[in-house]
Structure 1
Amino acid sequence: MSSTYGKIFKVATFGESHGIGIGVVLEGCPAGIEFDTDFIQHELTRRKPGQSRITTQRREADEFEVLSGVFEGKTTGTPIALVIRNQDQRSKDYSHISTQFRPSHADYTYQIKYGARDYRGGGRSSARETAARVAAGAVAKLLLKKLGVTVQAYVSQVGKIKLENDYSTLSLEQAEENAVRCPDPVIAQQMFDYIDTIRKQGDSVGGVVSCVIQGSPAGLGEPVFDKLHAELGKAMLSINAVKGFEYGSGFDGVEKLGSEHNDEFYTDENGRVRTKTNHSGGVQGGISNGEDIYFKVAFKPVATIMQDQESLNEKGEKVIVQGKGRHDPCVVPRAVPIVEAMAALVMADFYLRQKANQL
């Protein structure tokens, strides 16, 4: 099983949804980084369950413990180990599907691959694992902060309700002022009401998380196979329930002519090389060009719904899977800090890799 990500700034997550806890070992973080525990806890709190009635009602404080790699408030350069203990497991909620394959879950594929599976909340395939990623991503953000790099994500779509504005016209900080994490308060309320309606119907709905990385230096990315946008895509597609990734002009770019799509260069008043437009999404040839890096991540409707569904059991017999447990009717509000965390891990890793490219 692949549980490690990164080349220099490497993270390895561990744990299951209903085990003792989950955690992460982070290797390659430079020494001397201010280890802001309040900030890391804040990031975990943004992801934790039970935030509002449109999220799962599982109650987890998601408080983390530092096991190693930090001394007197700073990183030491040695492996950083963080653990988050599970507190509100209800394994009995899953006893009814111990031999059943839930539609669109990883039950069947895990069973085929490993010959065994932890049916309690999906075990290792549960989105509970992403809390460990958020903890690691918070450390990556602390590194990026020293470089003047920021990562900001927000919900831009729920179902058919879309935020049409470009990120440059929005006050992105407003995303944290509502339960949906959409920076437009009017659209956010529409999204909230729609998710709540879907929740009452025992169903689920998907959405889109948009993200922008600002302040990135030019030159990050490792062609040909580890291009920056390719690695961002891999990182996003590794998140539970993600079904799509596009950066820059994305699929809309196919409607433009080359003369319309090309980003022309110019020199600004500070002598810095810039582009007049940014259809490239801050990445050209797989390498950052210093402009804003922006992308979208599509999340499917949560597979667990509070409705009966037809399926099969381990013997191949037809069964009715009953919807039980505590689950998000829409994952995107809690996915925002996860998207940010994975983006931060990519950028931190590529920054350190770039330091080795030129003497």
Structure 2
Amino acid sequence: MSGNSFGLLFRLTTFGESHGKAIGVIVEGTPAKVPLQEKDIQEQLDKRKPGQSNISTPRKETDIVHILSGVFEGYTTGTPIMMILHNHDADPQAYHAIKNKFRPGHADYTYLKKYGIRDWRGSGRASGRETAARVAAGAIARKLLAYRGVSVLAYSKEIAGITCQTFDKNAIERNLLRAPDMQAAQKMQQAIEALKEEQNSAGGIIECTIKGVPVGLGEPVFDKIEALLGHAMLSIGAVKAIEFGSGFAASRMTAKEQNDQMSPQGFLSNNAGGMLGGISTGLDIIFRIAVKAPSSIGIKQKTITIDGKDTTIETKGRHDTCICPRIVPVTEAMTCIVLEDLYQRYEAYQFPQNPALRNSNKSQ
């Protein structure tokens, strides 16, 4: 199975299954002598871990990270960093009764058709639990970006059709939905609780704002900054769409409305979302992702068995009613990974600053 790695210079490879012994990640490209402790990673993992509220899965995983390599006496060594999270509350037997049925909305059908075998224990590699490994890697990228003066903030913009009308950064971590509007968050929670009673689920929209990126980040033609962010976001299992700046609304705007005109003081608007030609403009980079409702619901649905027979399925077990609050830290992590990789690419292309190296090159 390929496709388990992401990034060019700052690169991660995740491993493990939802109901296996552990999940983990190997991170390459972290410079040497960066202060790094497990608590730096744990802070981000705690935002994603299950069992945080009555709208998320009741699965009890502490998600305690263990750094196995690449850090010595509190500093990175420049070698690959390996991190592991042991699964303590796995319950594969909960899936035994439906292991021969394809769950609607899940990857059961495609995995079996592609590989001829699948891990039926809670989706295996296709499980959202894999994203914990991404969050661990993203915490390292976030720390490196902080030295560069870059910050990444994601939040729930809309859930169950209820949209935030105001923005208060301080409200995001003060409600279960990670929404920047406390009134909207209350309505969102009521809607989700009603869906939970019906054994149904809800999706939403996550917005992400990146501050501090100067002009010039991004690698045209195929590695435009929005192309890499799109790759990163759409690799998250529950994400079905992404838009930048004015997004889909741009299709309904004239050029005069959409174009970001300029003055000697800078851009007069930011409809492009902080990027032109795949390169950052120096304005805030803004994008939104559409997150589908969790597929595992208790309502009876039509499906087929693995040998093609008609049947129905009711998915019982420990599942989120809405995944948006836990997708927020995953969004931030994958964003940080993309940005750090692009910074390292940019720096790799710069002409050597050492005068001796410049003279040596000139003499050749």
Which category of TM-score, normalised to the shorter sequence, fits these structures?
A: over 0.9
Q: Is the 2:165–2:184 contact (alpha carbons within 8 Å) kept by the matching residues of 1?
A: no
Please, which runs of 5 or more residues in structure 1 have no aligned partner?
269-273
Match of 1:304 in 2: 296
Q: Is the 1:34–1:142 contact (alpha carbons within 8 Å) kept by the matching residues of 2?
A: no
Match of 1:246 in 2: 243
Which residues of 2 match residues 1-359 of structure 1 at below 5 A? 1-165=2-166, 170-268=167-265, 274-359=266-351
Q: Is the 2:172–2:179 contact (alpha carbons within 8 Å) kept by the matching residues of 1?
A: yes
- 2 CA distance for matches of 1:207 and 1:82? 31
- 2 CA distance for matches of 1:258 and 1:23? 47
Q: Is the 1:152–1:172 contact (alpha carbons within 8 Å) kept by the matching residues of 2?
A: no
Match of 1:194, as an amino acid?
A: A
Q: CA RMSD in A?
A: 1.1
**For the structure 1 residues 266 and 71, does the alpha-carbon distance in structure 2 shift closer, same or farther, using more than 3 Å as the test?**
farther
Percent identity over paired residues: 47
- The more displaced of 299-308 and 130-139 is 299-308
Match of 1:16, as an amino acid?
A: E
Q: Deviations over 1:196-250 (max 9, x none)?
A: 1111110011101100000012211111001000110110000011111001110
- 1 CA distance for matches of 2:87 and 2:252? 48
- 2 CA distance for matches of 1:65 and 1:173? 30
- 2 CA distance for matches of 1:320 and 1:251? 37
Aligned-pair distance for 1:267?
4.1
- 1 CA distance for matches of 2:37 and 2:216? 28
Match of 1:271 in 2: none
Match of 2:343, as an amino acid?
A: Y
**For the structure 1 residues 36 and 67, does the alpha-carbon distance in structure 2 shift closer, same or farther, using more than 3 Å as the test?**
closer
- The more displaced of 27-36 and 341-350 is 27-36
- 2 CA distance for matches of 1:276 and 1:164? 23
Aligned-pair distance for 1:171?
2.4
- 2 CA distance for matches of 1:53 and 1:178? 13
Match of 2:80, as an amino acid?
A: P
Match of 1:190, as an amino acid?
A: K
Q: Deviations over 1:247-301 (max 9, x none)?
A: 1110112222212222123344xxxxx3121111011000111110010000111
* Alignment TM-score, normalising by the size of structure 2: 0.94
Aligned partner of residue 336 in structure 2, secondary structure: helix
Q: Deviations over 1:97-143 (max 9, x none)?
A: 21110111100000000000000000000000000000000100000
Match of 2:358 in 1: none
Aligned-pair distance for 1:36?
4.1
* Alignment TM-score, normalising by the size of structure 1: 0.95
Aligned-pair distance for 1:39?
2.9
Q: Deviations over 1:60-118 (max 9, x none)?
A: 00000000011121211110000000000111100012111011110000000000000
Aligned-pair distance for 1:37?
2.7
Greater C-alpha Rg:
2
Aligned-pair distance for 1:55?
0.4
Match of 1:211, as an amino acid?
A: C
